[in-house]
Amino acid sequence: MSPPLILTLKLDRITFEFFNELRQQHFPPERNFLPAHITLFHALPGEAELSIQQTLQNLSLETPPLPLLFSQPRFLGKGVAVEAQCSELVQLRQQLAATWNMWLSKQDQQRYQPHVTIQNKVTSEEARQLYNQLVSSWDSLNGYGEGLLLWYYKGGPWELAGEFNFERDAIA
């Protein structure tokens, strides 16, 4: 049986490094085996990998880099994330969700709220402390989504299954 697939947004280098550093500082080390990421889909069927890859290849050819605004921290109860605002990303995800509707897990059927998780699975007190610290000093950050990354989920660290860079010029 093929492992499930996870789809994430590929961030530009500067944005990725910023959030990955935050994640390394605040995510419990024993649980932090992933780099910073924005998940689009948590569990696509591995058996459909070829079809999924073809869809992503076609989509990436017609998609320009996506402008992202990281507007504010979000308290998750037992962690903290930073919200990512991008109407084009939400539209792209809706398009893929419509195409893959028959495969979507309950989690992937929920309303999409793009974010980068920088802390998770800590006590609510630890999370609240980091959230308050970030809120008091947060300045909005701009970045870009440069493509899509498809991953195999095998229970621990993810394994890259495919990279699909956005290739359309930003100015049409």
CA dist 38 → 2, 51, 102, 127, 148 (Å): 23, 22, 22, 19, 10
The answer on pLDDT for 43 being more than 90 is yes
pLDDT of residue 170: 59
Domains parsed from the chain with CATH numbers: 5-165 (3.90.1140.10)
Question: Per-residue pLDDT tens for 80-121?
Answer: 999 999 999 999 999 999 999 999 999 999 999 999 999 999
